[in-house]
């Protein structure tokens, strides 16, 4: 990333990436890690659809099918969707607020390595042949009855990964509160930054319940506790409450950054200020708040009683209001705009109807009496895939196309991008639309196979074909990425031509210190304002060129996470082996030693000198390579 | 580090600084006395209840103790942890959000949820 290109060995490059504390590199690491797990979860999905292709299929056994659905859900939510969004947040958010890094670069790195090793821990279960099999919700009676170490992998793996997420969330909060450039008031923040802020606040409040619940589960299964065992005075329903007090905010944590990405896209490619910006911000905050008030709508059929069901049904429907505000604001942003239908814009246009369909089925399930009919049927499967694929995954794919030039300095092929979109979008509706009817026709979710002659054969066949189309779409995108990387045609600061926010006024990819000088923000869409007033660079600086203070890289976050990874195996095997307990203690001690090393050794960072920055500025103005 | 800057206050600034410090100190001492006083009152209430003094039933003592506890927490946060000072708006917002959640969710459990 320095101004002088150097050839480096593979080892040096690997060391550089493992020790990096640069938010941009960590963002890319999140994208790579999340992308890897996205492929793993996708392969699991393909096997599930292959198994359900025809009646009485025996491609996989019933037990393996349970493993597959559990790991598909867990992987896609915790290890694919969240980390990929974290990648975008990490990379883009500091650029949007004019910061040089996140507030705690070291913790940022630690968050990534904990997520990654937690995810690896979860997936190592495949090699042990003992895989989580109680569904991604892992309801307690079922998960306590599960034999083998499957659920142990779930509890410990998610505990480690969840710790990383919590750190990331707090880091983003502190960054946005404290590190905004001069003039960047709260009501001038780009909407992606706002949604990052609200999603991070939700992480702050939602992940502690998950941590507690997972610890309860860990203790129940591995240390003879009885939190969820009703025979010993525990309460199995408590897990459901704890899980959904976390789990419902979790889905909003996923969708809000997706909303943010789409808000940027609509604004950029309609060449208009986002319609109703204050209303958008208010709706985002309101969705974040209401997200904590509706968890029991996942539990209507548990028997909480009519009062609880009625109150939670009403609260659930209330969320449709701010979401509707957002939808109409997006439509009115496009309305009368000078629209260019690029690949990201295509995804955004496809997102609106898809997500509205998912939202409407959500309100249907929010009606408690109807939910008794829909509960545990394929209708539910259709609904949550409509909101998560039609919302979050479309946003991720749109974000990849939108921000690829900013992150890697090359433009993904628009033609291949549109082919990806067509395959993925058609495949998505083909897969999941028909599943609503499968639900109406009585097909329960999470079934391994089904009998012939129930009228489900054609629908399942259509659904499986759709899954194949989605896979083709993703493969085309991978080809696109490889071709673009090989061709390596460099692009300038603002390859889309209509960038409105600060990230589009600096080189692609940005220098490791982001901004040569801290920018001055003069309003919402500050770069757009500057350009309108004839400032072609899009930036006004708030300070002269001075030395920049930067943090050193560190391998310690990786070691801390490895310690927890080792301790996890110790906890898992401590009951049946003699080496389990020592391994648990060793792993924790390892982490504490690593923490002590970090605490005791002062690392004051280093300075990028004024001369170096001046040289970069001169090179850039001569049009040289960055 | 090179970033340490020496800065000499002007006499007027120094004067203001001293006056502000005095005011802060006075506030701290007053609040500290108030808190000690409230603690003493609380203990007195409990002792009075234990001694069976007329009128000191548990329906009086327990609410009063809770009230005093709430006030003490507030004073602790606002005076000794400086939440009353400028620049604490965001922490306040997050703390109150947390308080609201921590209140509402258990309230749900004890009122409308059957099990």
Q: Looking at residue A313, what DSSP letter applies? A: H
Q: Round to whole Å and give the CA distance between A481 and A186.
A: 36
| A304/B3 touch (CB, cutoff 8 Å), yes or no | no
Share of chain A above pLDDT 90, in %: 92
Cβ atoms of A37 and A83 closer than 8 Å: yes
Is residue A66 pLDDT above 80, yes or no? yes
Q: What pLDDT is attached to residue A620? A: 76
In a domain, B89, yes or no: no
Report the distance separating Cα A503 and Cα A23, nearest Å. Answer: 14
Specify the pLDDT at position A187: 95
Separation CA A358–CA A435 (nearest Å): 12
A549, containing H or E segment: strand A548-550
Give tens-digit pLDDT for B3-30.
566 778 889 989 999 998 998 889 889 9
Q: State the pLDDT confidence band at A478, using cuts at 50, 70 and 90.
A: very high
Give the whole-angstrom CA distance, residue A90 versus residue A234: 41
Minimal C-alpha gap between B90 and chain A (Å): 8
How does pLDDT run across A145-165, given as a tens digit for each residue? 999 999 999 999 999 999 999
Residue B34 is assigned to a structural domain of this protein: yes
Residue of A446, A450, A442 whose CA lies nearest to A54: A450
Neighbouring CB atoms inside 10 A of A278's CB total 9
Mean pLDDT over A477-504 rounds to: 94
| Mean pLDDT, range A76-103, rounded to an integer | 96
Contact yes or no for B105 and A245 at CB 8 A: yes
Q: Would the pLDDT of A225 be above 50?
A: yes
| Kind plus residue range of the DSSP H or E element containing A577 | none
- Considering only CB atoms, which chain A residues are within 8 Å of B105? 245, 292
Query: How much is the pLDDT for A601?
Result: 87
Q: How far apart are CA A112 and CA A558, in angstroms?
A: 9
Please list, residue by residue across A98-135, b when 16 or more beta carbons sit within 10 angstroms of its beta carbon and e when fewer do: bbbbbbbbbbbbbbbbbbbbbbbbbbebeeeebbbbbb
- Mean pLDDT for all residues in chain A: 94
A305/B113 touch (CB, cutoff 8 Å), yes or no: yes
Nearest residue on chain B to A198, alpha-carbon basis: B94
- Residue A134 near residue A70 (C-beta atoms within 8 A): yes
How does DSSP classify residue B9? P
Length of chain B: 115
- Determine, for residues B94 and A305 on separate chains, whether the beta-carbon distance falls below 8 Å: no
CB-based contacts of B27, cutoff 8 Å, min separation 6: B79
pLDDT (mean) for A6-30: 90
Distance CA B55, CA B43 (A): 16
Quick check: A1 pLDDT over 50? no
Number of domains in chain B: 1
Residues 26-85 (B) with a CB less than 8 A from some CB of A: none
CA distance B109 to chain A (A): 9
A610 Cβ under 8 Å from any chain B Cβ:
no
The domains found in chain A, sorted by start residue, are 10-273+282-301+309-444+456-554+603-621 (1.20.210.10)
Residue A618 is predicted with a pLDDT of: 86
Q: Give the distance, in angstroms, between the CA of residue A333 and the centroid of all CA atoms in the same chain.
A: 25
Tokens standing for A189? 């923040």
| Neighbouring C-beta atoms of residue B104, cutoff 10 Å | 11
Residue B4 lies in a domain: no
Inform me whether the pLDDT recorded for A626 exceeds 50: no
On whether residue B98 sits in a domain, the answer given is no
The answer to the question of residue B49 being in a domain is yes
**Tokens for A596?**
């002590």
- What percentage of chain A exceeds 70 in pLDDT? 98
Averaged pLDDT, A79-106: 96
What is the chain B residue with the closest CA to A292? B101
Q: Across-strand partners of A410?
A: A490
Map B10-60 to HEC letters.
CHHHHHHHHHHHHHHHHHHHHHHHHHHHHHHHHHHHHHHHHCCCCCCCHHH
In this prediction, residue A625 has a pLDDT band, given cuts at 50, 70 and 90, of very low
**What dihedral do alpha carbons A569, A575, A577, A578 form, nearest 10°?**
100
Is B110 near chain A, with CB under 8 Å?
Answer: no
Q: How far apart are CA A556 and CA A19, in angstroms?
A: 8
Q: What is the dihedral of CA A399, A404, A407, A410, to 10 degrees?
A: -170
| CB-based burial label for A293 (10 Å; 0-12, 13-18, 19+) | buried
**Each residue of A578-590: pLDDT tens digit?**
999 999 999 999 9
pLDDT category at B86 given cuts 50, 70, 90 is confident
State how far residue B103 is from chain A, nearest Cα, in angstroms. 12
Q: For residues A526 and A519, what is the distance between their CA atoms, to the nearest angstrom?
A: 10
Q: How far apart are the first and last CA of chain B?
A: 59
Average pLDDT over residues A401-412: 95
Asked if residue A262 has pLDDT above 70, the reply is yes
Residue range(s) defining the domain that contains residue B18: 14-84
Q: Which of A289, A292, A305 sits opposite B114 (nearest CB)?
A: A305
Q: Which residues in chain A are contacts of B3 at CB distance < 8 A?
A: 549
ipTM of the complex: 0.80
| Residues A311, A315, A317, A320, Cα dihedral to 10° | 180
Judged by CB atoms closer than 8 Å, whether chains meet at A549 and B3 is answered as yes
CA distance linking residue B24 with residue A166, whole number of Å: 37
Q: Look at residue B92 and give its three-state secondary structure.
A: helix
What's the pLDDT tens digit per position in A106-131? 999 999 999 999 999 999 999 999 99
| pLDDT tens string A517-550 | 999 999 999 999 999 999 988 999 999 999 999 9
Is the pTM of the predicted complex or chain greater than 0.95? no
Predicted confidence at residue A3, as pLDDT, reads: 46
Q: What is the pLDDT of residue A5?
A: 52
pLDDT score of A422 more than 70:
yes
Does residue B23 lie within any of the structural domains? yes
Cβ-Cβ pairs closer than 8 A, A with B, add up to 36
Does A614 score more than 70 pLDDT?
yes
Contact A177 B1 (CB under 8 A): no
3-class SS at A541? strand
| Residues B66-78, mean pLDDT to the nearest whole number | 91
pLDDT at residue A623, rounded to an integer = 54
Place of tokens 């996205």: A38
- Say yes or no to pLDDT of B1 above 50: no
User: What Cα–Cα distance (Å) separates residue B113 from each residue in A246, A307, A358, A593?
Assistant: 17, 8, 28, 45
Span A476-489, average pLDDT? 95
| Domain contains B91 | no
Which chain B residues are closer than 8 Å to A549 by Cβ? Answer: 3
Is the peptide bond between A221 and the residue preceding it cis, with omega within 30 degrees of 0? no
With left for phi above 0 and alpha for psi between -120 and 50, is residue A546 left, alpha or beta?
beta
User: In terms of Cα–Cα distance, which of A406, A422, A416 is closest to A483?
Assistant: A416
**B110 located within any domain:** no
Token pair listed for A180: 């905004």
Mean pLDDT score, B77-97: 86
Contact A412, A343 (CB under 8 A): yes
- For A259, the enclosing helix (H) or strand (E) is helix A236-270
Bridge partners of residue A444, in order along the sequence: A377
Report how far residue A556's alpha carbon sits from residue A336's, in angstroms, rounded to the nearest whole number. 53
The closest alpha carbon to A555, from A106, A26, A41, A50, belongs to: A106
Q: Is the pLDDT of residue A175 over 50?
A: yes
Q: Which pLDDT score, from 0 to 100, does residue A84 have? A: 97
């Amino acid at each position: 990333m320095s101004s002088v290109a150097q050839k480096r060995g593979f080892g040096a490059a690997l060391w550089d990436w493992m020790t990096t504390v640069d938010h941009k590199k960590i963002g890319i690491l999140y994208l790579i890690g999340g992308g890897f797990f996205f492929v793993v979860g996708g392969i699991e999905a393909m096997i599930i659809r292959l198994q359900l292709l025809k009646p009485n299929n025996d491609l996989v056994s019933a037990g393996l099918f349970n493993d597959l659905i559990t790991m598909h859900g867990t992987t896609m939510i915790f290890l694919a969707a969240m980390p990929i969004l974290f990648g975008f947040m990490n990379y883009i958010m500091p650029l949007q607020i004019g910061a040089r890094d996140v507030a705690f670069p070291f913790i940022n790195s630690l968050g990534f390595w904990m997520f990654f090793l937690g995810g690896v821990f979860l997936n190592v279960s495949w090699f042990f042949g003992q895989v989580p099999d109680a569904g991604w919700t892992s309801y307690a009676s079922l998960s306590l009855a599960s034999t083998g170490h499957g659920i142990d992998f779930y509890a410990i793996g998610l505990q480690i990964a969840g710790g990383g997420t919590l750190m990331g969330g707090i880091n983003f909060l502190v960054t946005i509160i404290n590190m905004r450039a001069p003039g960047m008031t709260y009501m001038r923040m780009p909407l992606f930054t706002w949604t990052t802020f609200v999603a991070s606040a939700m992480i702050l409040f939602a992940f502690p319940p998950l941590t507690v619940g997972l610890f309860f589960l860990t203790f129940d299964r591995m240390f003879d506790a009885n939190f969820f065992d009703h025979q010993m005075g525990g309460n199995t329903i408590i897990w459901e409450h704890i899980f959904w007090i976390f789990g419902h905010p979790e889905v909003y944590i996923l969708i809000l950054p997706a909303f943010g990405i789409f808000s940027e896209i609509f604004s950029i490619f309609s060449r208009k200020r986002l319609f109703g910006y204050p209303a958008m911000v208010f709706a985002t905050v309101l969705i974040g708040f209401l997200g904590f008030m509706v968890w029991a709508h996942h539990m209507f059929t548990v028997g909480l009683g009519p009062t609880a069901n009625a109150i939670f049904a009403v609260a659930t429907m209330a969320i449709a209001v701010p979401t509707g505000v957002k939808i109409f604001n997006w439509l009115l942003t496009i309305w009368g705009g000078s629209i260019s239908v690029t690949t990201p814009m295509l995804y955004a246009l496809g997102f609106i109807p898809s997500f509205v369909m998912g939202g409407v089925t959500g309100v249907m399930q929010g009606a408690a009496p109807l939910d008794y009919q829909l509960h545990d049927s394929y209708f539910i499967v259709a609904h949550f895939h409509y909101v998560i694929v039609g919302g979050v995954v479309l946003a991720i794919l749109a974000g990849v196309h939108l921000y690829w030039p900013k992150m890697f300095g090359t433009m993904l092929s628009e033609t291949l991008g549109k082919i990806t979109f067509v395959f993925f979008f058609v495949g998505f509706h083909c897969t999941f639309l028909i599943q609503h009817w499968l639900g109406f026709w009585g097909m329960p979710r999470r079934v391994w196979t089904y009998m012939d002659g129930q009228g489900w054969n054609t629908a399942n066949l259509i659904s499986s074909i759709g899954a194949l189309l989605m896979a083709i779409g993703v493969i085309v995108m991978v080809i696109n990425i490889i071709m673009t990387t090989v061709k390596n045609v460099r692009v300038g600061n603002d390859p889309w031509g209509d960038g409105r926010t600060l990230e589009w006024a600096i080189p692609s990819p940005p220098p490791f210190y982001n901004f040569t000088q801290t920018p001055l923000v003069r309003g919402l869409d500050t770069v757009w304002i500057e350009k309108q007033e004839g400032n072609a660079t899009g930036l006004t600086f708030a300070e002269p060129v001075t030395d920049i203070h930067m943090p050193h890289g560190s391998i310690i976050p990786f070691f801390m996470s490895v310690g927890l990874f080792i301790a996890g195996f110790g906890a898992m095997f401590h009951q049946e082996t003699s080496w389990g307990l020592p391994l648990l203690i060793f792993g924790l001690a390892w982490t504490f030693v690593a923490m002590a090393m970090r605490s005791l050794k002062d690392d004051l960072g280093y300075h990028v000198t004024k001369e170096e920055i001046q040289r970069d500025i001169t090179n850039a103005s001569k049009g040289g390579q960055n | 580090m090179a970033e340490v800057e020496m800065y000499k206050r002007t006499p007027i600034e120094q004067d203001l600084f001293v006056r502000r410090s005095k005011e802060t100190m006075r506030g701290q001492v007053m609040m500290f006395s108030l808190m000690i006083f409230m603690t003493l009152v609380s203990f007195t209430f409990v002792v009075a209840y234990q001694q069976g003094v007329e009128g000191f039933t548990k329906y009086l003592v327990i609410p009063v103790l809770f009230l005093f506890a709430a006030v003490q927490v507030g004073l602790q946060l606002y005076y000794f942890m400086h939440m009353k000072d400028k620049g604490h708006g965001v922490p306040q917002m997050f703390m109150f959000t947390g308080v609201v959640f921590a209140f509402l969710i258990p309230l749900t459990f004890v009122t409308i949820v059957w099990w």
